[in-house]
Amino acid sequence: MNYLAKRLDAVKPSASAAVSQNAKALKAEGHDVIDLGLGEPDFDTPAHIVEAAYQAAKLGETRYPPTDGTAALKLAIIDKFKRDNTLNFSPSEVIVGNGAKQVIFDAFMATLENTSEVLLCAPYFGQYKDMVLILGGRPIVIDCPPDNGFRLTPELLEAAITPHTRWLLLNLPSNPSGTSYDAQQLSELGDVVRRHPHVLVMSDEIYEHITFDSKKHVSFLSANPDLSGQVLIVSGVSKAYAMTGWRIGYGAGPTPLIKGMTKVQSQISSGACSVAQAAASAALNGPQNSVALFKSAFEARRNLVVERIKGIDGLTLAPPDGAFYAYINCEHFIGATTAEGIALEDDTAFTAYILSEAKVAAVPGSAYDLSPFFRISTACSEDVLNIALDRIAAALSKLTVKGNTP
Ligand SMILES: Cc1ncc(COP(=O)(O)O)c(C=O)c1O
């Protein structure tokens, strides 16, 4: 008997989950698999943050917290927006959730009807689409190919908006492409949004502190301050402070929206873990030197990957502006055949080949709705990256590409 709700049928098993399952299976068989599929920093949470959680628990901060976040953490978030983005929010405009993921889910659940359309800029973080589908909304995918640096343009945005558009999703810088936008580009997108007051913008800025080449992150709202009634900024401590397991994310946006999201959250989780909220307050209020250290490590790894990919015939990679991923074009190898005579028909087959031949797990572009690419994470040491790229290069050299000999 199938007792699962119909709404689950809309969500297909993700390509990234399949990769990670296959990688685990190979590891269990004793293979030395390098997992470059992961989306979490490989650093430890800084000690002063862990200490703050310990102290909070010892001092009895162990009761149900307010649904929308503790007063202390909300203040820390408000100060963060002032300091980093020159944005002013009041406590009623801020919500804390169990990770940025819950904040995104709250926002969709609070606003989507089954006719509502959500604009996703491919390549995009796959979970956006799954959440929209599970809630009965309609994901509308806008292809944003590499010739414009994977960026959404005002023309593409204008063409995609309909009377049913509820949200435009932006991710600055992006998982998986690393693309960020400057103030001018964001203000041009803002001009389109301004013409369509029924459209809300969710700007997921969780990688804001991981930007390279001295580029400064610009928030969508900083570039378009007059759109505050239409914008929800989503962020969290997972990526900047190596706190993925603490599950603290936050959102800042118009009070009526935050109120609706709080209503949703009150039915799901009664707020986020009190001790983790104390840790997140310490992260936002405390010394920021670990953020700078993580960022420079990610930048060195980005540089290494860009250089190494230049040396592998058939792969191309435009240097990512931020985040800790490389979204690598593998078009040259689509249609190539393995030594066993199997043709690699798409990027899913390509990553399956890399996994079986090179024992390197990577995520196919199909997981982000823009092919043929594959994503590797740089959340591992330079030594591990070098070994993984050596293995990938060796595996690719064994392929027969149409018109080339191996
Ligand atoms: C773009 C993006 N948004 C949100 C999240 C979720 O973050 P959190 O750990 O705060 O739920 C991730 C995690 O991979 C992400 O890549």
pLDDT band at 402 (very low <50, low <70, confident <90, very high): confident
Residue 405, pLDDT above cutoff 80: no
Please state the rounded mean pLDDT for residues 245-254: 98
Peptide bond into 372 cis (omega under 30): yes
Which CATH class name applies to 6-44+290-397?
alpha beta
Ligand 1 within 6 A of CB of 244? yes
pLDDT in tens, 77-107: 999 999 999 999 999 999 999 999 999 999 9
Any ligand 1 atom below 6 A from CB of 101: yes
Is residue 172 lining ligand 1, measured as CB closer than 6 Å? no
Digit-coded pLDDT (tens) for 125-170: 999 999 999 999 999 999 999 999 999 999 999 999 999 999 999 9
User: Cis bond leading into 176, ω under 30°?
Assistant: yes
Burial call 371-397: b when 16+ CB within 10 Å, e when fewer: bbbbbbbbbbeeebbebbbebbbebbe
* CA atoms of 227 and 200, how far apart (whole Å): 9
pLDDT digits (tens, 9 = 90+) for 11-67: 877 777 788 788 889 999 999 999 999 888 999 999 999 999 999 999 999 999 999
The best mutation among 14, 233, 238 to test binding of ligand 1, ranked by most ligand atoms within 8 Å of the C-beta, falls on: 238
Report which residue type is found at 156: L
- What pLDDT score does 404 carry? 61
Instruction: State percent of the chain over pLDDT 90.
Output: 92
Contact of 134 with 109, CB cutoff 8 Å: no
Strands, DSSP E only, in 93-195?
94-97, 117-122, 138-143, 165-171
This prediction has a pTM of 0.96
In whole numbers, what is the pLDDT of the chain averaged over residues? Answer: 95
CA nearest neighbour of 404 among 336, 330, 351, 312: 336
Residue 296: burial class (beta carbons within 10 Å; 0-12, 13-18, 19+): exposed
CATH of region 47-287: 3.40.640.10
**Which pair of tokens denotes residue 356?**
């079986």
Report CA 67 to chain centroid distance, whole Å.
25
pLDDT in tens, 319-341: 999 999 999 999 999 999 999 99
The whole-number average pLDDT for the span 165-186 is 97
203 closest CA partner among 174, 233, 229, 226? 233
State the distance from the centre of ligand 1 to the C-alpha of 101, rounded, in angstroms. Answer: 6
Beta bridge partners of 220: none
pLDDT at 406 over 60: no
Q: What is the pLDDT of residue 39?
A: 84
Domain boundaries, the chain: 6-44+290-397, 47-287
Query: Which pLDDT value is given to residue 325?
Result: 97
Give pLDDT tens digits for 52-62.
999 999 999 99
157 lines ligand 1 (CB under 6 A): no
- The values of phi and psi at residue 168, to 5°, are -110, 130
Could you check whether 6-44+290-397 and 47-287 share the same CATH topology?
A: no
Task: Tell me which amino acid residue 109 is.
Answer: M
**Cβ(379)–Cβ(238) below 8 Å:** no
